[in-house]
Amino acid sequence: MDNFYFHIPTEVYFGKGQIGQLGPAVKRLGTRALLVYGGGSIKKTGLYQTVQAIFGQNVIDCVELGGVEPNPRIETVRRGVSLCRQHKTDVIVAVGGGSVIDCAKVISTAVGYDGDAWDLALNPGLITGALPVITVLTMAATGSEMDHFAVISDMKTNNKAGIASQMFYPRVSILDPEYTFTVPKEQTAAGVADIMSHLLENYFSFVSGAAVQRRLAEALLKICIQYGPIAYREPENYEARANIMWASSLAIDGITSRGVNVSSSAHPMEHQLSGYYDITHGVGLAILTPHWMRYVLSEKTLRNFVEYGVNVWGIDVGRPPMEIANEAIQKTGDFWRSLGLPSTLHEVGINEEHFGVMAEKAAPLLKGAFCPLAADDVRAIFRAAL
Ligand code: NZQ
Ligand code: ZN
């Protein structure tokens, strides 16, 4: 196991009724809030009205940034920055999924920065401060509620930038699984694929002796395999939604990735797909991951895939190793298909047109991956996924 630094400063209030913590949490940080939300799901569910009532009771002066897009845009960040500056906002309250939270995070760091917000995406070293962010999570997927990442897109240049900064940790996150009851089936499934991908990205590593990280990752993967289909079939099953929600936070917060020293494989490739075609992130991952696995399976990686097949999918350890590895990959794809997720790029309207440029853009981010990939490798994986 490699050396690592681990510190999560996010306070988490998990469970039914924890929205009661929102008023006190905001008041600890100030009296002027920017409320950030998405395309309107929180108005349909009544959560918007609840949050407004809490602001009223606690005399919190609020301005709003609604309409944050899935795959949030830099233009929306800029609007949020202007609102914060005009209203001298003390705290940002993000109510929604990963897109809303990521948008809020980038706004929070851009408010005090003199240049354009996109500079921070290109060079996170420019981030020197942030307004505090409180999140009320409505969808389990990205783990943004408890991590130090944000992903923002400039669709004019088809650039989707994943940014990491210690300043991105939310100050407080309210995780009530009941708020995820209304998440549509396809988003529930995409969320499960995203959580599993976050775990798989670090599970496949050549660093030895990181048993804690590996066994925790296997446990969380099995939680997704057990509860994902239940959440998909029975949207109001609290136990399933609660376990998927907590798994989403734990999958990317570092407990399974610190000390294994590997960078992501599927994510940099997927971010090209959603940067060019605006597809749902978890859908892109579900399509690419089995093809990436097949591409990197070799004598060198066989041991990792056998461990995965035996410990996560329960495949008989007595079978020939290559058979175990191939079946584990097959089971991964079959599982996502069983949740209604597409398994080919054609199904989401993607053809070969941009493969060349997307592969060139992804490759520099894949040098530290489990199996480093060059542009030609990425192109081959995209082609296999057609
Ligand atoms: O916009 P609204 O109306 O709220 O609807 C959303 C949106 O259409 C809907 N939704 C969310 N909660 C709902 C609901 N609908 C009904 N009831 C609810 N309770 O679901 C749709 C998708 O929401 P979105 O926030 O886009 O999904 P997700 O949480 O998957 O976030 C995706 C974004 O996060 C990035 C992705 O690339 C993508 O841009 N990622 C962020 C990461 C991070 N910060 O750590 C890591 C991830 O790997 C990922 O890259
Ligand atoms: Zn992801």
Instruction: Give the tens place of pLDDT for each residue, 240-276.
Output: 999 999 999 999 999 999 999 999 999 999 999 999 9
Mean pLDDT (whole number) for 31-35? 98
User: Do the beta carbons of residue 142 and residue 180 sit within 8 Å?
Assistant: no
pLDDT-above-70 percentage for the chain: 100
- What are the Cα distances from residue 272, in Å, to 98, 159, 298, 347, 374? 18, 8, 26, 17, 15
In tens, the pLDDT along 120-146 reads 999 999 999 999 999 999 999 999 999
Per-residue confidence (pLDDT) for residue 88, from 0 to 100: 97
Distance of CA 382 to the CA centre of its chain: 21
pLDDT more than 90, % of the chain: 100
CA of 54 to the centre of ligand 2 (A): 31
Name the residue with the closest Cα to ligand 1, atom 48.
142
What is the Cα–Cα distance from 256 to 254, expressed in whole angstroms? 5
Question: Mean pLDDT, to the nearest integer, of 183-205?
Answer: 98
Distance, CA of 328 to CA of 368 (rounded, Å): 24
Which residue has its alpha carbon closest to ligand 1 atom 16? 183
pLDDT number for residue 35 = 98
Average pLDDT over residues 196-208: 97
How many Å apart are CA 217 and CA 108, to the nearest integer? 31
**Confidence band for 366, pLDDT divided at 50, 70 and 90:** very high
Q: How far is the CA of 70 from the centre of ligand 1 (A)?
A: 6
Question: Tell me, what's the pLDDT at 69?
Answer: 98
Give the C-alpha separation, 60 to 62, whole Å. Answer: 6
Q: What is the mean pLDDT of residues 153-159?
A: 97
- Spacing, Cα 95 to ligand 2 middle (Å): 19
Give Cα separations from 96 to 100, 104, 124, 285 (angstroms).
Answer: 5, 10, 24, 21
Residue ranges lining ligand 1, Cβ < 6 Å? 38-42, 45, 70-71, 96-100, 102, 138-139, 141-144, 147, 149-151, 179-180, 182-184, 187, 191, 194, 252, 267, 274, 281-282
Mean pLDDT (the chain) is: 98
Under the banding of pLDDT at 50, 70 and 90, the label for residue 299 is very high
Q: Is 346 helix (H, G, I), strand (E, B) or coil?
A: helix
What band does 320 get if pLDDT is binned at 50, 70 and 90? Answer: very high
Mean pLDDT of 16-38: 98
- Tokens 């996924």 locate to 385
Distance in Å, CA 156 to ligand 1 centroid:
21
Phi/psi for 201 (5° steps) reads -55, -30
Distance CA 24, CA 48 (A): 17
Edge-to-edge strand list for the sheet holding 32-37:
11-14, 172-175, 133-137, 91-96, 32-37, 61-65
| CA atoms of 8 and 253, how far apart (whole Å) | 8
| pLDDT in the model for residue 161 | 96
For ligand 1, mutation pick of 281, 288, 289 (most atoms within 8 Å of CB): 281
Pairwise CA distance, residues 356 & 351, whole Å: 11
